[in-house]
Structure 1
Amino acid sequence: MPAYHSSLNEEPDVRQVGNLSILPIKTKIRGPAPLADPNAADIIDETLDLFRANSLFRNFEIKGPADRLLIILILFVSDCLAKLGTQRAAPSQLEASKTLNTLAVDNFPIPGDANFALNAHYAPPQSRVDGEYLRQYLTQVRQELAARLVERLYADGTGKPSKWWMAFQKRRFMNRSLGT
């Protein structure tokens, strides 16, 4: 059975930095990301919907630039769950939100950096300006993803993270980690 790919691979008129799509997102967080239609699913919704199914796969055939962004975001979700799982007691929703927001804005490697885990699959940005734009975009997307992940983790109202999500904290998509 093949892995699930992004439905946004064929989006027309999408800016690319390196070979990574800069897709619109629904957000209130400031940053360079284009704003998406509030009624349509964006890459963050797609990431959260596909995370658990795709994290079971060791191989992933990249079919377009949106898949490259999807890979980075799935690996970030994996790192988020691992970060929450290392805490001694299950964090409250507020603690989890703070922890994941800090993780989202921490310095992280982008494609082209020497310590980026997947450089073989990604083209580096063409210029320094593009590289800075990509870093700002990924920071904004990571912040929005962390916020929406916390909403899903604590959706049942018990004050504890969902065991159906936390079961994936040790799973590694493609046996990789972003190393954050």
Structure 2
Amino acid sequence: MAPWVAGRRRGAKSLEAEFPGAVILDVTSKGPEPWVRFSPFWPHGGVPVPGMPGVFSESVEGVWQGLKVFEGADADPGRFRITSMRGIKRTVRKYGPVLGHRLGDELVPYERARREIYLPTYRWVLEHRLGALVERLRGMGDVVLLDYTVNGDVGELRVPLSHAQLVRSWVSSGVVGR
């Protein structure tokens, strides 16, 4: 059975009532070992940066934030080197509206960036860094993955994409994103 995904901010009693007997795993950057390793912030190292042959990042989030272009700031490859899981995010409050993401020499819009940068990068980590944990998940029975958002629709741009939904999809079908 595929894992379920639920919001991290829900209470334990609510989760237990909706998913009786299921193992609850927090896969965010606040989660416990080893499940925190599913967080896009986790510094796996050696993560290929799309559009930049021979360039690598410590984390998926480093790629995503490092390639983001704002009205007041271009891409920041320094984000690729962050290993602390802190100070990776870049915000519109500081840099102005997001214009897109760098993919090679091209500036691509948000949905395309999700499909051509985020999804392949997260899939690479699932394949090359998290295989043993994915297999553990597949053998655990009823599991609920906690994340800050539950959006699994890559085309739904008003809500951040849930990496827990990507894990769910990978565990159940070997596909990341739709």
Q: Please report the TM-score for the alignment, with normalisation by the length of structure 1.
A: 0.28
Question: Which fold has the larger relative contact order, with Cα–Cα distance below 8 Å and residues 6 or more apart in sequence?
Answer: 1
TM-score (normalised: structure 2): 0.28
Structure (1/2) with the larger strand percentage: 2
Question: Comparing both structures, which one devotes a greater share of its residues to helix?
Answer: 1
